[in-house]
Amino acid sequence: MTPQQQQAILSIALFAAFADGGNDEREREEIRRLAESLGSAPGAPDLSGLYRDVLLKRVTLAESAQALPDAGLKQLAYEMAVCVCDADGRSSEAERRFLAELAGLLGLEQGITVPLDRQAEAMAELTETAAPARPAAVQATPSTPAEPELDRSILNYAILNGALELLPQSWASMAIIPLQIKMVYGIGKAHGHELDQGHIRELLATLGIGLTSQYLEQFGRKLLGGLLGKVGGGLAKGLGKSATSIAFSFATTYALGQVAKRYYAGGRQMNAALLQDSFNSLLGSAKQMQPQYVDQMREQAANLDMGRVMALVRA
C-alpha cells in the first residue's frame, strides 16, 4: 500500500468522524492530537495537515475514493468508515447518508456493504448495552470489594482487549470500547455505585479516551504500521499483528481500570486534572507490563470469534 493510499483511507475515516456534524470541541481536539501523533511516525503521511484539509474541506470525499483503485482497499476504507460512524452507538441518519454516498463513490455493491453494516450495527448495540442507559434508582452503599479480585478482573479485561488487536477483522477493534465500559461499570458497582452509560462515557472523555478518536487511533496504528499485507477477496489480511497496537489496547484498558478503581473507592472525589495525571502515569506502567502477557493474548486470540466476543460483552 502506498502512502497516498494510506492517506486516502485515513481521509475517509476522518470524513466519517465528522459525518454527523455533532463532534464537540473536545472530540475534535482529541482527533487533532491523534493525527499529530500518528503523523510523527517515520514515513507516515502528514496527518495533522490531512486533518486540517478534511475539516476545512480542502480535500473531497470523491478525491479520496478515487485514490483507491484496488477492490480490497475500497472495502477496507468502507469498513473503517462504518466502524467510525458507529463508534458512539448506532449511526445517525446523517451518517447513513454519508455511508451511502461513500459506497457509491467507491463503487461497492450492496452485497458487500450490507453485511458490513449489519456487523457494525451488532457491535454498536454492544456499546449501547454494555452498561444500562438509566440504572435503577438505588442508594449508593459504600463497600470494600476485595482488591486482588478487582485487580485480576482489570488484568483479564486488558489481556482480552490486547487479544482483540490480534484478530484480522475490523469489528474486533469495535469490541474494545464496550468491554471497557463494562469493566468500569463492574468496578463502580463493586464500590456501591450504580453507573449509567453517560457517566462512564464522561469519565472516558475526561481521561482523553474519546470513542470516535479511539477507533481512529486503533485503525490508524494498524494502517500506518504496514500491517495490511496483501488485500485480497475484499478482506484485509494481517491486521492486528503490531506490538504497538496490542500495547495500546492493553495499556489503555489496564490504566482505565486502575483509575476507575481509585476513583470509585474514593467516592468519586478526584477532579479532572488528578484523573488525567493518574491515568497518564498508569498508562506508562501498563505499557511496560504488556510484554509479560503477550503469550496469554495470543492464546485468547486463537479462540476468539465474533459470537464469543459478543457473548462476553452481553454476559
Output the pLDDT for position 29: 63
Q: What is the pLDDT of residues 185-211, one digit of tens each?
A: 999 989 888 887 778 878 887 787 766
As given in the structure block, the three cell numbers for residue 58 are: 480542502
- Rounded Cα–Cα distance for residues 162 and 114 (Å): 28
Query: Would you say residue 61 has pLDDT above 90?
Result: yes
Q: Whole domain around residue 188: which residue ranges?
A: 3-314
Q: What is the pLDDT of residues 275-291, one digit of tens each?
A: 989 998 998 899 889 88
Domain count, the chain: 1
Q: What is the pLDDT of residues 121-151, one digit of tens each?
A: 776 666 666 666 666 554 455 556 678 899 9
Radius of gyration of the chain (CA): 19
Compare 309 and 130 and report the one with higher pLDDT: 309
Give the three-class secondary structure for 38.
helix
Compare 310 and 211 and report the one with higher pLDDT: 310
* CB-based contact 76:236 (threshold 8 Å): yes
Strand partners, 235: 232
